[in-house]
Amino acid sequence: MPFNLSLYLVTDAALCDGYGLEQTVEAAVRGGVTIVQLRDKYASDEQMTAQAKRLKALLAGSGVPLIINDRLQVALESQADGLHVGQSDAAIEEARQVLGEQAIIGLSINTFAQLQAAPIALLDYVGIGPVFATGSKQDHAQPIGFGGLASLVKACPLPSVAIGGLKAEHAISVHRAGANGIAVISAICGQHDPFKAARAFQATAPL
């Protein structure tokens, strides 16, 4: 599936409280989200697979891929479009082997050493961050700012998406740093109106 990193929504079911995860994703996609990652640190594999299947059905025909955070088995069983792994997560070699050539596989990076160590040929994109400190990820790595983002993007041969503490007002700086897109949790998931929250990004940057 072709993918567009422009506005990358990472979900947090707890933040979607009140509005609901599916309603949030549906509204955010109408508002311009181009790719969705299901991320849930607390659900069981079974719960997450069921959630992924619901999101997959919701996104069918939209051209918006569904990526699963961390859990290879969930990605496989839900027939999601790809997998996103962090530095301490599942082996990328295994993920590529199990999910196949067509799968979209992304890796989080925070430093040059991590970029240098990344198996570039097995990856489709990298997530670079956190740009800023954020309450949305426990024990996140040292924030890199837009300067750090720009240096890593420049050194990176793959499409990249910036993440961490980013809001609509930052989209222009992310674009200037050379990233292909902006990834957010709370700027959309935690918002009263996820449709408008997503739309705000379109208004602020030519991503």
Q: Is 73 annotated as a binding residue?
A: no
User: In the annotation, is 39 catalytic?
Assistant: yes
Peptide bond before 130: cis, by omega within 30 degrees of 0? yes
| Residue count, binding to Mg ion (CB under 5 A) | 3
Q: Select from 83, 187, 197, 205 the one that contacts ligand TZP (CB under 6 A).
A: 187
Residue 124 near residue 104, CB atoms below 8 Å: yes
- Using CB under 5 A as the binding rule, whether residue 178 contacts Mg ion is answered as no
Of 89, 124, 151, 167, the one binding Mg ion by CB under 5 A: 89
Ligand-binding annotation for 137, yes or no, is yes
Check whether 41 is labelled as a binding-site residue: yes
Q: CA 62 to CA 146: how far, in whole Å?
A: 32
Q: Is 53 a catalytic residue?
A: no
Residues sharing a CB contact under 8 Å with residue 165, sequence separation 6 or more, in sequence order: 130, 131, 132, 133, 134, 143
| Nearest residue (beta carbon) to Mg ion | 86
- Rounded to the nearest whole angstrom, what is the least distance from the CB of residue 10 to Mg ion in the complex? 11
Q: Which position among 71, 96, 137, 199 is part of the footprint of ligand TZP (CB under 6 A)?
A: 137
For residue 174, with 0-12 CB atoms within 10 Å meaning exposed, 13-18 middle and 19 or more buried, which class applies?
Answer: buried
Specify the stretch interacting with ligand TZP by CB under 6 A; choose among 18-26, 96-104, 161-169, 191-199. Answer: 161-169
106 near ligand TZP (CB under 6 A): no
Question: Cβ(200)–Cβ(26) under 8 Å?
Answer: no
Active-site residues, by number, are 39, 108, 137
In the complex, the residues that contact ligand TZP under the rule CB under 6 A are 10, 129-130, 134, 136-137, 140, 163-166, 184-187
In the complex, the residues that contact Mg ion under the rule CB under 5 A are 70, 86, 89
